[in-house]
Structure 1
Amino acid sequence: MKFGALSLSVLLALLPVAHAAAPAQTEAAARPAPNAATQRLRALYEAEWQWRQREFVQVREPDGRWEDGDRMPSVTPQAWQARIAYWEKAMAGLDAIPEAELSDEERINAAVFRTSVAAQLNNARFRTYEAPFNSDTFFWGGLNPRRPYQKAEEYRRLLGRLHDLPRYFDENIANMRAGLKRGYSVPRVAIEGRDKTIEPYAKPGADNPFSATFAAIPAHLGEDTRRALQAEAERTIRDEVAPAYAKLLRFMREEYLPQARTSTAARDLPDGQAFYRSQILEYTTLPLSAAQIHEIGKQEVARISAEMHEVMRKAGFKGSFAEFLAYLRSDPQFYAKTPRELLSYSAYVTKKVDGRLEDLFTQLPRKRFTILAVPADIAPIYTSGRGGLDSCLMNTYDLPSRPLYTLAALTLHECVPGHSHQAAMALEAPDRPDFRRQTYFSGYGEGWGLYTEWLGIELGVYETPYEDFGRLSFEMWRAARLVIDTGLHEYGWTRQQAIDYLSQHTALAPHDIRTEIDRYISWPGQALAYYLGYRSIRGLRSEAETALGERFNPAPFHTALLNLGSVPLPVMEREMRRYIATEQAKAQAAPDAAAH
């Protein structure tokens, strides 16, 4: 299921929590009564948010978290048509509210709400639910919790969802058949082998990953409860879950993969050019065309390439650039010998950064995260790493494809001060509407992640020219995406063209390159968010440094940026320029105050 600007995988990682009621109520009491426009806006976004949680079967925990309920959501065409009708009505209601009568904060709320709902509406209209997976993310995946639940009710809700899996899978299969019939499918070349991720769950016994989940029920729930839950789980997995996965596996191998389209461009889909434009807008939140993005990408690739050649010279390498890349990809000194070595190095980087966090932020979150290996069942087709509130995942599969010289940049991006830190800041951010806490925009979130890789220079994280080259290789990787994504979906590049381009410009391992290109093929537009968001944040920082001169302090700048929460890039730029102007006014007023 595709959730547009509200990314399900990110929601599960962030798990935001509402603030305690008393402080919020005290603060609310001190504010003036909202005017009619504000009242209408709040009623609109609060009603839509509650409706959305019911639609996608989310339940609220006592601490404010939204968790999966005891069944799966409906994904029938009829359900999606009803959602379209609701969102169209919501957008009409939003259009009728005079923006000029809203406060600054409510204008942000309105912009976030509009952008989020528009993405949901566009995806439903384009019927993206007829291709409910890509090379990276699957509707049949992510259903098994990574870590043991701590409450019996959570296991009971999981059992409810497992009982509902046959119905949920059947609806998705029906949708995929409809997609195949009208020529709307995931490209075959980008999803070959992904059917293997279904295999473990099609087993009825103890080897099923869900069985391991129920075997790990914590002892504090009591032996009677453990036995009852495990007995029901055993029956459910044997009689309902495993058969549902087995049926899905047959469908994927016998029908979907053989009939999936052989073209790779989004423009080749029904109404493909309009669809690709909608994906660009969803993921970048910027009014840029594919041609504009393609040109930005080529310019940035040329700039970063020059920097990479300079670092190669600093490393003392005498050969050509292509020979240097071959050396980095093959010399054993650059690769971990064991999974623990890789995880340990990532942990070392996080602790090194921890010692400098107070230089970067005026406030630090209390929430901590752990570092885990990517689960074995998805590791072969998973990215190098991924960070969230509770954990930062590092991929230890195929160690010869996991260079250590890029691990420092990866850890900064995914763990701290990147996504795990960012999620903790969001958790403890200033009070804002519930829908704001759980809305994620890729340009903002991934732009911050890439910006933190650059921050590693200031933090002294990169200890060798090779690690600095790894950082540049990662920056090049994201800039090259602008060229590759638009090349694939607007200009008709082949998969091999895309692989060759990324191979020639970065030190990424061949395995990672193939995985990444398949992701861009099957997930149009998503890859564009990273560099454009990063470019925007770097630009804002340059503006702040110019405006404030020696008075510039990165700590309040970063805190202001993260306390803003996930917003569309135009909103981020507007609000951060407001922050810069305020700080500039303070700086200009300080000498005047001293003179008096």
Structure 2
Amino acid sequence: MGLVVGARPLLPALASVILALGATGCATATRPPIAPASAVAGADARMLADLFAADAAAEKRLSPLNAVARGESSPPTDFALTFTDELLQRRHAALADAQRRLAAIDRARLTPDEAISYDVFAFEKRLEARELSPELAPIEQVLPINHFYGLHKDYPDFVSGQGGAPFTTVAQYDENLARTRLLPRIFAAATARFRQGMATGVVASQLTTRNMIAQIDALLAQKAAETPFAGPTRAFPKTFDAATRRRLTAAYLGAISGEVLPAYRSLRAFLADEYLPAARAQVGLSAMKGGDALYRFDVASSTGTDLDPAAIHNLGLSEVARIQGEMAKVKVELGYAGPLKDFFNEIRTNPKYHPTTRAQLSEGFAEVGRKVDAQIPRFFSTVPKAKLQIRPYPAYSEKYEAGGSYESGAPDGSRPGVFYFNAYDLPSRFLTGITTLYLHEGAPGHHFQISLAQENPNLPDFQRFGGNTAFVEGWALYAETLGYEMGFYKDPLQHWGTLDDEMLRAMRLVVDTGLHTKGWSREQAIEYMLSNSGMGRTDATAEVERYIAIPGQALAYKIGSLTIQRLRQQAEKELGAKFDVRAFHEQVLGSGALPMAVLEAKIQRWIAGQKSH
């Protein structure tokens, strides 16, 4: 999950604390240092290092909240440009500079690690150029926020004192206040973007608009002192004296009451009174002007491929059929002899498959975490420095969230990563999914992949902190499959859970493409998911509304996972007794989140190198 400006996730930002979970029993290994490019002989290596440094500096100014999340100071003036033409112009200029400098570098003169970085950088700049093209930019820019990725909902958690923004010094408190006081200006810019879309016929769906209004209503129902914005004033560092605490508390509450909440009311009034009547009734992008081109870009940026949506749809249908065959076997192990579709309803309605309290969910995830920690040394030679915590979503946003998500910790390991679970509507949650959800969102899924990348200072910033969605989500889905080797799915209840989650990822291929290329309705998509899995209606509804809000993103899971699984199978077959799963995982995770083509080339070189030893 991420905080976005425009259509791109800029940083993880959610908050709320329940249970701390340490990575016990796992020793942290150290990677051999990689010589920085500037130390390698050759002008091309030096130019590459200079290019990466310049791009990182530019990106810090263009995406200021990312810099804040990394513990860096960022002038509020950069944040003030959110949703403006000036920011768009700066992005164009930075892209042109990067493309010019990249073209001057001879890739053949780089080391293997530098060549990987070159390839990743080139891939990302090609995508960015496509996104900023005259064809797509006018579409993306006029859809500034939605109910799944949106500044209006993610920023409050980010600055709550329990999210990504640090609050350890007086300067950080003051800088954060200055940024937060810019929300009226930024929301006005978002409103202007929405109005541009209304004039050109590029508008969000009524469904997404209503959800945004409901999210704002939930925030406005809170008193100023109870909002996430006031969170830092409820947990001052012990080093702050009384006078400083009084000053900051008064300043924060004054800004919240006098500036922030009125800005939310204005945004809400615009969405309800002007935008909702103009929003489109159909949920799919194919019903929107320019929607077909935007969806193809969304598919390419999420999967890292140019797969045709129709091919993805058919792949999904075949995967759904395959997984249902496995489900039919497990339901018998669970003591059910009737048809599979009847068992879907049985597992949805029988209370024994559902938690009765939030604590039951928390304790279940904690227990799985302890079991996973004991297994990690068998599969990984390097583990994150950052610890992992388990928390529920905040009550005011949980209704609109997925079943779980991950928020990255600090690059230096000082702030833990967070696995969020959804405790809204407990009868719709499943005890069967505890293991697979933890493996995906926690360890060794997102927590390992994201933490190991950002904790590796030898990688360029765009590899440490960025990455292709197919890799990020594909790795997490691949991590779920490690539960078989860890022995967790010998329990048919948890085996059903992982098949149900795998089914979810297969259905996403069908439903996302159905919604955005085949004219499927929200209700049609929900019914498809309920007919082909045991998921509850609340989860199915949240999933479908997610695909409506962020088209294409959900395709990345299965596409990425199938690629990693295929590469592992190839390595096992070709290396035989030489194959070491820990070394394979080190290769997959050691260069950050790579585009699928770059990952494949890297693993092929590794296999060849291992065979020659």
- TM-score normalised by the chain length of structure 1: 0.91
Secondary structure of 1:393 counterpart: strand
Please say if 1:570 is aligned against 2:582. Answer: no
Which residue in the other structure is 1:432 paired with?
Answer: 459
Q: Which whole-Å CA distance do the structure 2 matches of 1:502 and 1:58 have between them?
A: 36
Contact 1:55–1:73, Cα closer than 8 Å, also in 2: no
- Inter-CA distance 517–337: structure 2 relative to 1 (3 Å threshold): same
The structural deviation recorded for 1:565 is: 0.9
Which residue in the other structure is 1:153 paired with?
Answer: 171
Which residue in the other structure is 1:32 paired with?
Answer: 40
Contact 2:382–2:586, Cα closer than 8 Å, also in 1: yes
Alignment of 1:238-387 (within 5 A): 238-387=257-406
The structural deviation recorded for 1:305 is: 1.4
The structural deviation recorded for 1:344 is: 0.8
Secondary structure of 1:7 counterpart: strand
Which residue in the other structure is 1:134 paired with?
Answer: 146
Contact 2:180–2:260, Cα closer than 8 Å, also in 1: yes
The structural deviation recorded for 1:204 is: 5.7
Q: Say which is worse superposed, 352-361 or 82-91, in terms of deviation.
A: 82-91
- Inter-CA distance 424–438: structure 2 relative to 1 (3 Å threshold): closer
Residues 503-527 of structure 1, C-alpha deviations (whole Å, 9 max, x = no match) = 1111111001011111111211111
Q: Which whole-Å CA distance do the structure 2 matches of 1:213 and 1:103 have between them?
A: 46
Letter in 1 for 2:88: W
- Inter-CA distance 380–548: structure 2 relative to 1 (3 Å threshold): same
Alignment of 1:462-541 (within 5 A): 462=489, 464-541=491-568
The structural deviation recorded for 1:287 is: 2.4
Q: Which whole-Å CA distance do the structure 2 matches of 1:414 and 1:311 have between them?
A: 24
Contact 1:4–1:120, Cα closer than 8 Å, also in 2: no
Q: Which whole-Å CA distance do the structure 1 matches of 2:317 and 2:37 have between them?
A: 53
Which residue in the other structure is 1:83 paired with?
Answer: 91
Q: Which runs of 5+ in 2 are unaligned?
A: 16-30, 409-416
The structural deviation recorded for 1:89 is: 4.2
Q: Which runs of 5+ in 1 are unaligned?
A: 14-22, 587-596
Which residue in the other structure is 1:193 paired with?
Answer: 211
Contact 1:265–1:490, Cα closer than 8 Å, also in 2: yes
Residues 388-423 of structure 1, C-alpha deviations (whole Å, 9 max, x = no match) = 332111111111111110121111100111112222
Alignment partner for residue 180 of structure 1, among 198, 214, 217?
198
Q: Which whole-Å CA distance do the structure 1 matches of 2:66 and 2:433 have between them?
A: 40
Letter in 1 for 2:126: A
Residues 472-495 of structure 1, C-alpha deviations (whole Å, 9 max, x = no match) = 111111011111111121222222
Letter in 2 for 1:240: E
Q: Which whole-Å CA distance do the structure 2 matches of 1:297 and 1:95 have between them?
A: 38
Secondary structure of 1:114 counterpart: helix
Secondary structure of 1:565 counterpart: coil
Which residue in the other structure is 2:121 paired with?
Answer: 113
Which residue in the other structure is 1:102 paired with?
Answer: 110
Percent identical: 33
Q: Which whole-Å CA distance do the structure 1 matches of 2:169 and 2:437 have between them?
A: 34
- Inter-CA distance 152–200: structure 2 relative to 1 (3 Å threshold): farther
Contact 1:413–1:453, Cα closer than 8 Å, also in 2: yes
Letter in 1 for 2:593: S
The structural deviation recorded for 1:64 is: 6.8
The structural deviation recorded for 1:6 is: 6.2
The structural deviation recorded for 1:69 is: 4.5
Contact 1:59–1:67, Cα closer than 8 Å, also in 2: no
Which residue in the other structure is 1:421 paired with?
Answer: 448
Contact 1:190–1:518, Cα closer than 8 Å, also in 2: yes
Secondary structure of 1:429 counterpart: coil
Please say if 1:224 is aligned against 2:243. Answer: yes
- TM-score normalised by the chain length of structure 2: 0.88
Alignment partner for residue 561 of structure 1, among 557, 569, 588?
588
The structural deviation recorded for 1:295 is: 1.9
Contact 1:7–1:440, Cα closer than 8 Å, also in 2: no
Letter in 2 for 1:38: A
Which residue in the other structure is 1:392 paired with?
Answer: 419
Contact 1:70–1:159, Cα closer than 8 Å, also in 2: no
Contact 1:200–1:377, Cα closer than 8 Å, also in 2: yes
The structural deviation recorded for 1:151 is: 2.4
Q: Which whole-Å CA distance do the structure 1 matches of 2:567 and 2:57 have between them?
A: 35
Which residue in the other structure is 1:16 paired with?
Answer: none
Which residue in the other structure is 2:25 paired with?
Answer: none
Q: Say which is worse superposed, 161-170 or 78-87, in terms of deviation.
A: 78-87
Secondary structure of 2:462 counterpart: helix
Q: Which whole-Å CA distance do the structure 1 matches of 2:66 and 2:473 have between them?
A: 28
The structural deviation recorded for 1:193 is: 3.0
Residues 349-391 of structure 1, C-alpha deviations (whole Å, 9 max, x = no match) = 1111000100010122222011111111110101111123321
Q: Which whole-Å CA distance do the structure 2 matches of 1:58 and 1:254 have between them?
A: 30
- Give the count of matched residue pairs: 575
Letter in 1 for 2:573: T
Contact 2:402–2:539, Cα closer than 8 Å, also in 1: yes
- Inter-CA distance 43–267: structure 2 relative to 1 (3 Å threshold): farther
Alignment of 1:424-463 (within 5 A): 424-429=451-456, 431-462=458-489
CA RMSD of aligned residues (A): 2.5
Contact 2:459–2:591, Cα closer than 8 Å, also in 1: no
Contact 1:334–1:403, Cα closer than 8 Å, also in 2: yes
Secondary structure of 1:370 counterpart: strand
The structural deviation recorded for 1:447 is: 0.4
- Inter-CA distance 201–154: structure 2 relative to 1 (3 Å threshold): farther
The structural deviation recorded for 1:70 is: 3.2
Q: Which whole-Å CA distance do the structure 2 matches of 1:233 and 1:56 have between them?
A: 24
Q: Which whole-Å CA distance do the structure 2 matches of 1:251 and 1:28 have between them?
A: 51
Which residue in the other structure is 2:411 paired with?
Answer: none
Alignment of 1:14-29 (within 5 A): 27-28=35-36
Q: Which whole-Å CA distance do the structure 2 matches of 1:6 and 1:66 have between them?
A: 21
